[in-house]
Chains A and B, each alone.
Chain A
Amino acid sequence: NAGVTQTPKFRVLKTGQSMTLLCAQDMNHEYMYWYRQDPGMGLRLIHYSVGEGTTAKGEVPDGYNVSRLKKQNFLLGLESAAPSQTSVYFCASSYVGRSYGYTFGSGTRLTVV
């Protein structure tokens, strides 16, 4: 049982390049999330999804796009990377219902130069 798997684990991009971060969960969770974690800023929600085919904006969505074509996968895209997007990105998933905490992946460390 892998839980939440993120790929890649590390990536260096040049300003203006694009990339897609992949997130896969094998727990049949309905909800999935993308967060970024920066020193002194805590975890901030980028986008989230409450089910296959649905997505919504979080706290810091600018510069990112997402897709949830399959229930188990949630993709985060950067169309034109900027140095301000240098961060550690975490994907998480959860069951529907208030008693369940999130299951996080191990993160993607992205550097934009």
Chain B
Amino acid sequence: EDQVTQSPEALRLQEGESSSLNCSYTVSGLRGLFWYRQDPGKGPEFLFTLYSAGEEKEKERLKATLTKKESFLHITAPKPEDSATYLCAVQGGKLIFGQGTELSVKP
């Protein structure tokens, strides 16, 4: 059965303290892995798509990487405005969303 697990559930960082969020997956025939950002009271906002192991994508302070079993969202020198819930989703036979990591960045 296809599965997606995100860790940690919550992460608290000080401004400028770099860290990584993890998305572990089990899927038969990965067709794509997606990262979204969700602010409170809003819908998810698309960030990246990754297709194959070794692929990397960057956007401002965010960098997503992919291996055959997991993806990491690296946050470099985060700012308070990076506070949000980050969702991972994997596309195999169907699209499955993880439960998200709630990131809080304190000034």
Enumerate chain A interface residues (CB-CB to B < 8 A).
Answer: 4, 40-45, 59, 90, 92, 98-107
Contacts and interface: CB of A to CB of B under 8 A. Distances in A.
A98 B32 contact: yes
Given A92-B43, A104-B45, A98 B97 contact: no
Interface of B: 31-32, 34, 36, 41-49, 51, 87, 89, 91, 94-95, 97-100
A103 B42 CA distance: 12
A102 B44 contact: yes
Contact of B41 (A40, A45, A102, A107): A107
B46 A101 contact: yes
24 contacts: A4-B43, A40-B99, A41-B99, A42-B97, A42-B98, A42-B99, A43-B89, A43-B97, A59-B94, A90-B43, A100-B49, A101-B34, A101-B36, A101-B47, A101-B48, A102-B44, A102-B46, A104-B45, A105-B43, A106-B41, A106-B42, A107-B41, A107-B42, A107-B43
Q: What 9 pairs across the A-B complex have the smallest Cβ distances? A: A104-B43, A101-B46, A43-B97, A42-B99, A42-B97, A104-B44, A90-B43, A106-B43, A105-B43
Interface SS majority for chain B = strand
A105 B43 CA distance: 6
A34 B105 CA distance: 31
